[in-house]
Structure 1
Amino acid sequence: MPSEAGVAPSPKACTLNVPDFRFADGTALANLHLSYWTMGTLAPGRDNAMLLCHGASGGKDWALPYCQPGGAFDPDRHFLISIDMPGGGGSSRRGSDPAFPAEYAIGDMGTAVVALLDALGIEQARGFAGASMASLIGIDLAYRYPDRIGALALWTGAHRSDGFVRGVADALRGVLALDQTPAGFRAAAAAFLPALYGRRTVAEMAAADVAALLDMIAAQWAQSWRADELSARYRAVGHCDLARVHGGIDQLATGIRCPLLFLQSTSDQVFDLAEVERFVGQVPFATLKVIETGMGHLAPFAPPGSAEFTFFDQNTARFWQDTAPC
């Protein structure tokens, strides 16, 4: 049923238990708990599901500003499914289940997504979308399960983390290994801040503004994560290279058979734009669009009404409208 007066319905909280979940390294978890929400109505043919995936330290509510009639994720057209990836949020994680592995990989999160599709009886998702870490999960899914994902809309992402991202992730993890107090979270945030906003932007900011940002990030992390959980998540992201995992860049790129939209920021310091351009040039049905902005890696999280928000919102909405799923 269409939303009343153009207002999105409230998300419906859901949970799923996946028995005997197997991680890529062979570790087994008796029950993997997945926390997710849905919005909209699943079509009779079960062909309008839209998977939404968050970034490394994010959670399933990340996309709510974009979940509007006529927007990037339209609950009048799609059955939206937004998931807390294993390792954080309301899903299984080290803090809630000591049997949860201390380390896991990007592919393990994708395998959990497929388990959810199976449980919901969805043979193919109409699309998969998300920012940052989500791009790694989406590309891995589309390569390993080409019949399960109809199209990819990936924001400020890439197919791998390069040496800079690994260095930032390892610095963050090193700090948290030494200090799990609020001060440790703040020091870890300081290691990560230049990557989020860009080194030049941070250097030009007033000291008081930098301090306020560090306080905010540290408080959010400390509230949402244990130090070992956050460290494991950034290890999964920082050490991910899907080309290496899947037989080389040529094999990976040509193995992505569904339509792919990359939306990037010119000032993103986390994923290099030139490398994304090279990857997109090798994928058969890929498009890259770029916005000139100083917001760096956080451009998708600009407030509604901003040029950045409109860029991600409307380009993604048009992509679903203009592109038939594979």
Structure 2
Amino acid sequence: MQDYRIYPLGDFPLLSGEVLKDAKLAYQTYGTLSPRRDNVIVLPTFYTGTNSRNEGYFGPGRAIDPDRHFIVSPNLFGNGRSSSPSNTPPPQDGPRFPLVQMWDNIAAQHRLIHDHLGIRRIALVAGWSMAGCQSYQWAAQYPDMVQAILPFCASARTSPHNFVFLEGVKAALCADRNWNGGNYASPPVAGLKAFGRVYAGWAFSQAFFREGLYRQLRFETVEELLLDWEQDHVHGWDANNLLAKLATWQAGDISAGPLYNGDFRAALAAIKARAILMPCTHDLYFPPEDNEAEARQMPSAAFRPFDSPWGHCAANPGNDSGFADQLDASIRELLGD
């Protein structure tokens, strides 16, 4: 049984000036909308995530609880559920899929939430990694609609170093002899394996490997972990989908678009939402220094780093119970619980 719904967007204009033909936004909802429509939580998806993966961030007795909240989880363009290179017909299939920016993702989500679901206020937008980047985008793009945000292991603008990290994993994928500019007849397995293997070195911190924390994930050796990351990308992801979302990530900047015209300080200053920015101290590509600088420019932001050797993957459900505890406490604070 399909665990998501499809909202048809029709021909959807993009920030680049292109039009995504017959666009579709995949989403799922959990819980019940209150009579006052004031219990809405939005959980966008992260880079290799879907609405199903977001289910690890809420549940009975958690800070986000379907018994009390109406949770909307929209899927990123490019993740295989929403419009993506793998499911879009010619002439926008595969490597011809247009650049979709954060602005476009949030404009589509706004149409779903505001126009289709009839919601005027969002109590909280939260998320990990690219989902957290979308929470910043929501607050800057629709400042009067979003009451609070909690981005964790994320940033409001993709830093140059983050951009270069992504160039590295992209180069590993595209070096596959079967890549053929994205016009592959069969999946570029070697490239997908290389992508996963390189990515694993960034997702966890140096301390994670030094302290052998991979054993807590039931891997006896580093090589076993790397093989698992290889297989996850070979069997879980289409190569063009990975690169479409990577392009969205690399272009991430809440000031891009007609509201702020590239003025990043103005975009941060325009965020009215209460915010808690929660980086991991050992994150190798969303370092806490970026969030600390952002918090100084935002009117109502608190900077709350979490110290964990798990690095970026401290936020992956089940990895670090302390992270989950701080996340829930921060959510409760923002929601006034």
TM-score of the two chains, using structure 2 as the length reference: 0.85
Aligned residue for 2:221, secondary structure, equals helix
Superposition deviation, residue 204 in structure 1:
5.9
Corresponding residue number in structure 1 for 2:278: 263
Corresponding residue number in structure 1 for 2:182: none
| 1:285-304 alignment runs, 5 A limit | 285-303=300-318
1:182–1:218: 8 Å Cα contact kept in structure 2? no
Q: Are residues 1:56 and 2:44 paired?
A: no
List runs of 5+ in structure 2 lacking aligned partners: 180-187
Corresponding residue number in structure 2 for 1:16: 7
Partner Cα distance (2:293, 2:44) in 1: 24
Partner Cα distance (1:44, 1:89) in 2: 34
- Which of 185, 189, 212 aligns to 2:192? It is 185
Corresponding residue number in structure 2 for 1:82: 73
Corresponding residue number in structure 1 for 2:327: 312
Partner Cα distance (2:190, 2:223) in 1: 13
Corresponding letter in the other structure for 1:248: D
| 1:6-155 alignment runs, 5 A limit | 13-98=4-89, 99=92, 101-117=97-113, 118-155=115-152
Superposition deviation, residue 51 in structure 1:
0.6
CA spacing shift, 1:243–1:201, aligned 2, 3 Å: farther
Partner Cα distance (1:262, 1:93) in 2: 30
Partner Cα distance (1:209, 1:36) in 2: 37
Superposition deviation, residue 250 in structure 1:
2.1
Corresponding residue number in structure 2 for 1:276: 291
* Seq. identity, %: 25
Superposition deviation, residue 268 in structure 1:
1.0
List runs of 5+ in structure 1 lacking aligned partners: 1-10
Aligned residue for 1:195, secondary structure, equals helix
Superposition deviation, residue 90 in structure 1:
1.5
Aligned residues: 312
Corresponding letter in the other structure for 1:109: N
Range 304-313 or range 189-198, more displaced: 304-313
Q: CA RMSD in A?
A: 2.3
2:85–2:244: 8 Å Cα contact kept in structure 1? no
2:103–2:256: 8 Å Cα contact kept in structure 1? no
- Which of 218, 227, 233 aligns to 2:230? It is 218
Range 236-245 or range 270-279, more displaced: 236-245
| 1:185-204 alignment runs, 5 A limit | 185-202=192-209
Corresponding letter in the other structure for 1:126: A
2:8–2:22: 8 Å Cα contact kept in structure 1? yes
Partner Cα distance (1:63, 1:79) in 2: 14
2:255–2:264: 8 Å Cα contact kept in structure 1? yes
Please give the per-residue CA displacement for 1:167-209, whole angstroms capped at 9, x wherever unaligned.
Answer: 1111111122222532211211232222211245346658963
1:152–1:260: 8 Å Cα contact kept in structure 2? yes
CA spacing shift, 1:203–1:161, aligned 2, 3 Å: farther
TM-score of the two chains, using structure 1 as the length reference: 0.88
Superposition deviation, residue 39 in structure 1:
0.9
Aligned residue for 2:305, secondary structure, equals strand
Partner Cα distance (2:135, 2:38) in 1: 18
1:71–1:317: 8 Å Cα contact kept in structure 2? no
Please give the per-residue CA displacement for 1:229-264, whole angstroms capped at 9, x wherever unaligned.
Answer: 101211221332335664333212211111111112
